[in-house]
A and B are shown apart, each in its own frame.
Chain A
Amino acid sequence: MLSLLLLIPFLGAATLLLWPSTPAPGRMRAIAITALALQLVWSLRVLVAFDPSFGGMQLEESVAWVESIGLNYQLGVDGLSLPLVLINAALTLVSAVCTRDISQRPRIYFSLLLVISGAVNGAFLAENLLLFFLFYELELIPLWLLISIWGGADRAYAATKFLIFTAISGVLILGAFLGLALFTGTVDFSLTPIVGERLAMGSQVVLLLALLVGFGIKIPLVPFHTWLPDAHTQASTPVSVLLAGVLLKLGTYGVLRFCLGLFPEAWPLIAPGLAIWAAVSVLYGSLAAIAQRDMKRMVAYSSVGHMGTILLAAAAATPLSLLGAVFQMVSHGLISALLFLLVGIVYRKTGTRDLDVLRGLLNPERGLPFTGSLMILGVMASAGLPGMAGFISEFLVFRGSISAFPLATLLCMVGSGLTAVYFLLLVNRAFFGRLAITPPTADPSADGRLDIRLLGVDLRETLPALGLSLAVVGLGVWPAGLGLLGEATSTALAQLPALVAAAQGGLG
């Protein structure tokens, strides 16, 4: 059942690449959307088959592959990976739908989208460390190509920076996995937690730190974040949606699955440091966002801030905080994708994202009032207003973490509060006041007389953003569904350190 989640997008990509002659871009888009819709349907089929009361891996598939090096084709899904598989399917579909008027190499473009989606599914479902790494690396090159071919003016710089950072991330993760084999003397790359009798605490900490830095680059955490704002700024809107909504989650998923999951014994040792790291990341991301003048960079820095809270939740490792982490991954995926979509619409219609230039886009007749309204909803959700996804996730994270790390949690709450500051700055600058899309001149009277003739936004252009907005509100109003899905797994994961400690104590 799970293999189809890989097969559908990979077959879709192969179909596009092998399609005879040169089909029209619209047809290629239709093929990609069909494949991604099938993937979404099948993801929902997996959801139906999934038993949320069981915290372990389900629907497992296993085929021996290269046993001599410990590489097996092992797939499984639990309450941590299933929400991410669903959001991957949904957001890749959104990315394909919001890709319009693509004239440059559409065949390659849509194939790469499908490959990324399949690889991300593979990474989320892999039960074998090497298999995870293969899929983790597999999404790297397509994303690099998507930025470097279909990106903005400085795409070469941004794409290369992305490649270097994430390649180092891959090296560190692979190094940690191989180090595991080296230190334990086995080629067991399954998800079995590492305990003291297999590996000394010092070695555990070293490997854990290597993994944390590796995944910290991907999340990204300060100071490994500098690739993200550049990548977002240069990437096209659909790629930004995918990057923020899905690909960053590989980092947080990795932290929860492979750092906390593999090293539950070493985890409490470094957790206080991680909590501080999370607070620094949240505060830095938020403060940096306040200073931005490019709407897209502001949203990118807000990602740095919001993804930091997931590290806080992981550090606290309580059932509630880990459930909050699952919520935060999903809600950040939806909200950041929504914000990038809306910034994309603004850029497509006005030709600029400069907050020193844009004004009054909520203008009822000549501006982008519906886009602006959704933007206000999106920033409210991001700032954690009740009734929307952001509130549930941040409340769970903070409530679950405050007893473990009160100071770090309070600092993260301050960072979360700063979200309101920078997004209100964004909304106030770009959406209120008199409509303007050109820099102000020295003559305000002349500026106040300019007639602005923006093209309107078609409903079909807004539909993906509208869908995401509904999902953001839906998750905020009815969080029980996702809670049910993730609760058993997050509880089991939270109990790992205690279980391992108890087992060690019993053995001792």
Chain B
Amino acid sequence: MPVIPALLTVAGGRPSAAELETSLLAGQTLLADSPEHVVEVVDVLCSYGEVLDAYSINLIYQAEHQFLNPFPVFRFLDGDLSPAKIWRHLNHDRINFEYAEYCMKAMLWHGTGGLDAYLDTPAFATDCAAIIRYKTRRDLLLGVLHPLFPNFLPEAIRAAATTHALGQFWRVMSDLFLDLARAEAAGEVASIPAVVEFIKAGLVNAAANPITYSVDLGGERFWVLPPEAGLTFLVDVAVPYVEAVFLRGMPFLGTVSFNAQAQQISPELEQFRYGALYADPLPTMGAGIPPSLLMQDMYRHLPERLHNLYRLRTRGEGDVRVKICSSFQKSMFCVTNAAINGTFPQPLASPDPAAQAANRAYAAAWAQRLAGARTDCLG
């Protein structure tokens, strides 16, 4: 049988912005509802929840215990320096915490939302000065570095603050995704609309959770993100996270030079379209493609039900990480869908024309951005 290339090439649907807007306003889910999609989304979010748990613990550990450490060699070991743990780390029998750092850097770099705004306030500068004063008196290297590069330590503290905030955000998301898996197993969630609703409810419940961060230096507590800053889960961390990681992202290290030479990378950060919703699953496991790290991590925790489903598709075990990436993208559309549903300016059922217009404008703005994303996986 001759191979016909077109038969091996599958093109998914590409809904227009108008179609996406209609779906959002009608309260329909972006991802088509099917039993297979439910398995994919719930199970991949279950494995993601396990991974986020590890990421969250490590990010919070790094921010609290590796604070301003100029050589954080053991930052991925969560304080466990036993030979067995070090051996497993060197043998790469571990979670790829580098991906968590990549996401933190994306948030810090794009710098949107309340958290980033607070990092540029005089109050934050005052707290920073106190911390730096304390650290430079006791750490010779930092004492030399700070006068030479006065922006270095404040920037390191901003990074630590973003790290801790992301750790707190992922704590909530990890629990939410693992709860979703339990709810699905218990038969409480059985469709994609139910999945989106479950996530939306979880986000709304956690929306007002305070985001705070302090470090303990020599028995003394120093606030970095104090309670009085009034930072909260949804607006100040979740929304910037979605903007930085789901939407904008960064061109992957392995391709940045090539793309830059080809004039394919916009100099405007707002124009960036490299986030999780835009990522191409096909190059997964290629060199310098950070999502490969996340796919590998999720592969370690993949529920057997989804694993069996993957074994029956395309190359079976051979391209399992590409399939995880594709399912992950579907699940991220569900999370985005939940976030959009939860942040409509007015209730969708409102008969008020002004409320409807506001919702329409909100949905149109989202639909415009999502129209260029990898919506081919939604069908």
Cβ < 8 Å to B, chain A residues 339-384:
348-352, 357, 360, 363-366
Q: How many residues of A contact B (CB 8 A)?
A: 26
The answer to whether B319 touches A366 (Cβ under 8 A) is yes
B315's partner among A365, A434, A438, A448 (CB-CB below 8 A) is: A365
Nearest A residue to B280 by beta-carbon distance? Answer: A448
B5 contacts which chain A residues (CB < 8 A)?
A: 350-352, 357, 437-438
In Å, the complex CA distance between A349 and B4 comes to 9
Nearest B residue to A443 by beta-carbon distance? Answer: B14
Q: Does B350 contact A (CB under 8 A)?
A: no
Count of inter-chain pairs, beta carbons less than 8 A: 79
The answer to whether B314 touches A434 (Cβ under 8 A) is no
Nearest A residue to B264 by beta-carbon distance? Answer: A444
A352 contacts which chain B residues (CB < 8 A)?
A: 5
Given that A363-B286, A435-B282 are contacting pairs, would A449 and B14 also be in contact in the complex, using a CB cutoff of 8 Å? Answer: yes
Q: DSSP class of B's interface residues: helix, strand, loop or mixed?
A: loop
Q: Does A456 contact B (CB under 8 A)?
A: yes
The answer to whether B315 touches A366 (Cβ under 8 A) is yes
B4's partner among A351, A360, A451, A456 (CB-CB below 8 A) is: A351
Most buried by B among A365, A448, A450, A453: A365
Q: Does A455 contact B (CB under 8 A)?
A: yes
The answer to whether B3 touches A349 (Cβ under 8 A) is yes
Q: Does B144 contact A (CB under 8 A)?
A: no
B9's partner among A365, A451, A455 (CB-CB below 8 A) is: A451
Q: Does B337 contact A (CB under 8 A)?
A: no
Cβ < 8 Å to A, chain B residues 245-293:
280, 282-286
The answer to whether B10 touches A365 (Cβ under 8 A) is no
In Å, the complex CA distance between A454 and B5 comes to 9
The answer to whether B9 touches A452 (Cβ under 8 A) is yes
The answer to whether A364 touches B285 (Cβ under 8 A) is yes
Question: What is the CB-to-nearest-CB distance from B9 to chain A, in angstroms, rounded to a whole number?
Answer: 5
B321's partner among A365, A434, A435 (CB-CB below 8 A) is: A365
**What's the interface size class on B, roughly?**
20 to 34
B280's partner among A365, A434, A437, A453 (CB-CB below 8 A) is: A434
Most buried by B among A348, A448, A451, A453: A451
Q: Does B12 contact A (CB under 8 A)?
A: yes
Question: What is the CB-to-nearest-CB distance from A451 to chain B, in angstroms, rounded to a whole number?
Answer: 4
Q: Does A446 contact B (CB under 8 A)?
A: yes
Most buried by B among A438, A449, A452: A449
Q: Does B6 contact A (CB under 8 A)?
A: yes
Question: What is the CB-to-nearest-CB distance from A212 to chain B, in angstroms, rounded to a whole number?
Answer: 41
B10's partner among A350, A357, A450 (CB-CB below 8 A) is: A450
Question: What is the CB-to-nearest-CB distance from A98 to chain B, in angstroms, rounded to a whole number?
Answer: 17
The answer to whether B2 touches A451 (Cβ under 8 A) is no
Most buried by B among A363, A364, A453, A454: A364
A453 contacts which chain B residues (CB < 8 A)?
A: 8-10, 314
In Å, the complex CA distance between A282 and B14 comes to 50
Question: What is the CB-to-nearest-CB distance from A100 to chain B, in angstroms, rounded to a whole number?
Answer: 13
Query: Scoring B residues 299 to 316 as 1 if CB is less than 8 Å from chain A, else 0, what string do you get?
Result: 000000000000000110
Question: What is the CB-to-nearest-CB distance from A224 to chain B, in angstroms, rounded to a whole number?
Answer: 33
A445 contacts which chain B residues (CB < 8 A)?
A: 372
Q: Does B374 contact A (CB under 8 A)?
A: yes
The answer to whether A449 touches B9 (Cβ under 8 A) is no
Given that A351-B2, A365-B315 are contacting pairs, would A454 and B321 also be in contact in the complex, using a CB cutoff of 8 Å? Answer: no
Cβ < 8 Å to A, chain B residues 1-21:
2-6, 8-12, 14
The answer to whether A363 touches B8 (Cβ under 8 A) is no
A452's partner among B3, B8, B286, B318 (CB-CB below 8 A) is: B8
The answer to whether B284 touches A365 (Cβ under 8 A) is yes
The answer to whether B282 touches A363 (Cβ under 8 A) is yes
A357 contacts which chain B residues (CB < 8 A)?
A: 5
Nearest B residue to A444 by beta-carbon distance? Answer: B264
Cβ < 8 Å to B, chain A residues 425-442:
434-435, 437-438
Question: What is the CB-to-nearest-CB distance from B370 to chain A, in angstroms, rounded to a whole number?
Answer: 14
Most buried by A among B8, B11, B12: B8
A365's partner among B6, B12, B319 (CB-CB below 8 A) is: B319
Question: What is the CB-to-nearest-CB distance from A457 to chain B, in angstroms, rounded to a whole number?
Answer: 10
B326 contacts which chain A residues (CB < 8 A)?
A: 451
In Å, the complex CA distance between A455 and B284 comes to 17
Closest 3 CB pairs of A and B: A351-B3, A365-B319, A364-B285
Interface residues of A (CB under 8 A from B): 348-352, 357, 360, 363-366, 434-435, 437-438, 445-446, 448-456
5 more A-B residue pairs beyond the given contacts A350-B5, A451-B282, with a C-beta to C-beta distance below 8 A = A435-B282, A437-B8, A449-B374, A451-B9, A451-B12
A-B contact pairs, 11 of them (CB 8 A): A350-B5, A351-B2, A351-B8, A363-B283, A365-B320, A366-B282, A434-B280, A449-B280, A451-B9, A451-B326, A456-B315
Interface residues of B (CB under 8 A from A): 2-6, 8-12, 14, 280, 282-286, 314-315, 318-322, 326, 372, 374, 376
